[in-house]
Amino acid sequence: MNYSKPSSFFNKKFLLCIYTGFCSGLPLYFILQLIPAWLRINQVDLKTIGFIALTQLPYTLKFLWSPLLDKISPFALGYRKGWLLVTQIGLLLILPAFGIFNPNAEINIIISLSLITAFLSATQDIAVDAYRREILTDEQLGFGNSIHTNAYRIAGLIPGGLSLIIAKFLPWSEVYLFTAAFMIPVIIITLFIKEPIHHFKKQQQKSLFKHAIQDFFDRNTLQYSILIILFIIWYKLGDNLATALASPFYVDMNFDTLQIGTITKNAGLWPSLFGAFAGGILIAKLGLNRALWISGLVQMLSILGFVWLSSKGPFATIGIYELTMLAMVISFESIGVGMGSAALVTYISKNTNPQFTATQFALLTGLTAIPRTFINATSGILSEGLGWTNYFWLCFILAFPGMVLLLKVAPWNIEK
């Protein structure tokens, strides 16, 4: 497959990839960064915060209801546009609700809200991923997915950066209202986008899920299909586990929300843009296989930044030196995540059949959420038991199997 000749950045399809990335990134980082920081600031223990990762289970299981998005057109707006509108309205309503409750006295309600948020976000992701795959040609996948990843990371700077900054000055109820307000322009754009052309067979198949699974294994040998699945699960395992408790970790290093938010917004923005674009350029210039190798290596090495910072803290006082350390760690991590995500999403796109876009994309991306959900649920126990430095060394070690699997699923000397 040739990824070498992307169209102009100002191609409308690529501009829509900014939209898809923002849609996916905002609610996910709301769950991954803002809620853990809020809980830790309110003295919720790390074990509880870690177990709350189980509320992300819908990201893993979304393939179970993904066939519905190929069969039902909400409001008769389309199989993609209709579901985008439903989930986005739901997110606009649910995100502000967190600010009503006390994280110490009403943790069960917060867990329930987190689960609903994850379900809406995961369902939106099914529609978003299918929409992007259907508007991009095979030649546009690499560059389009890098743009999507960029927008995804930028959206994450709102709950992980701006919201934490204003939390220093405003009550949390207003912080959640501020964050939810960013769903309004997303909904407006959804109302104006056009439904893409679909290649799936809507009426002929009684069990779309069964046919989608069968198609995936028919296009590959059983052994190779299993290797693909294992690779998708393992490629970002170490990185996901390292960032699972990033916000509580920064709090434990004695940085406050203003410092974390400011550094994340500034030190995370440009490196994340660079990382995602670098991933897209690597795919275009060197091919997908080599991009996966290089991006995976950078992603793995970025974990060592957490090892370094944890070995120096917690800090008695926070000055320029400590803030610079935090900025370096966040910058390197943003580059690694950007590169790795762009390459992996393109790999997943390559392994989907346009006839089963929503179902197969949901299944494969759901695999990437397995470590983030189940293993991250133990992150609180591991970090408390091992200590932060040993915990991050474990994350670094867990990044190796994904790199080893590249020998089979994406050999360096075979260009794809």
Paired tokens of 265: 């917004």
**pTM attached to this predicted model:** 0.75
| Cα–chain center distance at 242 | 14
Higher pLDDT, 365 or 411: 411
- Whether 1 shows a pLDDT value over 70: the answer reads no
Q: How many CB atoms lie within 10 A of CB 61?
A: 16
Q: How many CB atoms lie within 10 A of CB 190?
A: 23
Backbone CA torsion sign across 70, 76, 77, 82: negative
User: Cα(187)–Cα(183) distance, rounded to whole angstroms?
Assistant: 6
Q: For 198-237, what is each residue's pLDDT tens digit?
A: 665 554 445 667 777 888 888 888 888 899 989 988 998 8
Cα angle 199-204-209, degrees, rounded to a multiple of 5: 75
Distance separating the N- and C-terminal Cα atoms of the chain: 5
Sequence spans of domains, the chain = 12-409
What's residue 10's pLDDT? Answer: 57
- pLDDT range class, residue 2, cuts 50, 70, 90: very low
User: Cα(198)–Cα(153) distance, rounded to whole angstroms?
Assistant: 28
Paired tokens of 34: 């803002």
Q: Which residue has the tokens 């959640």?
A: 176
Amino acid at 113: L
Of 1.20.1250.20, 1.10.1060.10, 1.10.287.180, 2.60.40.10, the CATH number of 12-409 is 1.20.1250.20
User: Cα(382)–Cα(30) distance, rounded to whole angstroms?
Assistant: 23
DSSP 313: -
What's residue 3's pLDDT? Answer: 45
Q: Which residue has the tokens 């995804």?
A: 152
Q: For 284-316, what is each residue's pLDDT tens digit?
A: 888 889 999 999 999 999 999 999 999 997 898
Residue 35, judged by CB atoms within 10 A of its CB (0-12, 13-18, 19+), counts as buried
Residues 6+ apart with CB under 8 A from 2: 138, 139
